[in-house]
């Protein structure tokens, strides 16, 4: 029983790390969004984001979930200027490069980023629905990784996750 619990906690931390990496790739536009926009067309969803072929050139439309250059600078400056307690997170200002590249971050760094710092950095950026979705995900992981889990709170959390 105890081994299963530890395995599940480690799975949550692994998912949290992967999700945080993917959020960074998406909001900093380092993920291949052309493939995503082609998938939109195949699935018949989000027609305003489909790639358009104009004279052999593909036009990528701006998306609400990618940060503008000004917002990227604001986001990275917030991380760089955030002060954390000693040994709380390895020096994040050395790990974040201005283009959103994550260099040498460990699982615990992603854990801190997802649960505390990302919430701080997202304030006032992006459209409200995108920002709130990311913030709700951060909130869910913060509750899942709490020291004490209340079974009734987990049921409520399951309902909350289904919304987003």
Euclidean distance between CA atoms 87 and 18, whole angstroms: 22
What was the pLDDT predicted at 3? 40
User: pLDDT-based confidence at 101, cuts 50/70/90?
Assistant: low
User: pLDDT-based confidence at 69, cuts 50/70/90?
Assistant: confident
Mean pLDDT for the stretch of residues 23-36: 77
Euclidean distance between CA atoms 51 and 48, whole angstroms: 9
Lowest pLDDT segment from 18-22, 28-32, 69-73, 103-107: 28-32
pLDDT at 38 > cutoff 70: yes
CA angle 35, 31, 18 (to 5 degrees): 120
* Averaged pLDDT score across all residues of the chain: 77
Residues 6+ positions from 11 with CB-CB distance below 8 Å = none
What was the pLDDT predicted at 5? 43
User: pLDDT-based confidence at 97, cuts 50/70/90?
Assistant: low
Euclidean distance between CA atoms 15 and 8, whole angstroms: 10
Give the distance between the most distant pair of CA atoms in the chain: 62
Q: In the 8-state DSSP scheme, what is residue 103? A: -
pLDDT at 28 > cutoff 60: yes
């Amino acid at each position: 029983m105890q081994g299963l619990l530890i395995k599940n906690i480690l799975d949550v931390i692994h998912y949290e790390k992967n999700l945080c990496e993917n959020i960074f790739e998406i909001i900093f536009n380092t993920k291949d969004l052309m493939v995503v926009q082609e998938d939109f067309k195949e699935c018949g969803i989000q027609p305003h984001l489909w790639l358009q072929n104009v004279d052999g050139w593909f036009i990528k439309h701006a998306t609400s979930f990618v940060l503008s250059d000004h917002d990227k600078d604001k986001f990275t400056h917030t991380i760089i200027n955030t002060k954390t307690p000693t040994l709380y997170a390895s020096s994040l200002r050395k790990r974040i490069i201005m283009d959103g590249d994550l260099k040498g971050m460990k699982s615990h760094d992603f854990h801190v980023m997802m649960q505390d710092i990302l919430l701080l950095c997202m304030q006032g950026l992006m459209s409200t629905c995108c920002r709130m979705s990311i913030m709700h995900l951060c909130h869910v992981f913060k509750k899942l990784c709490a020291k004490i889990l209340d079974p009734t709170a987990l049921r409520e959390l399951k309902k909350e996750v289904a919304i987003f």
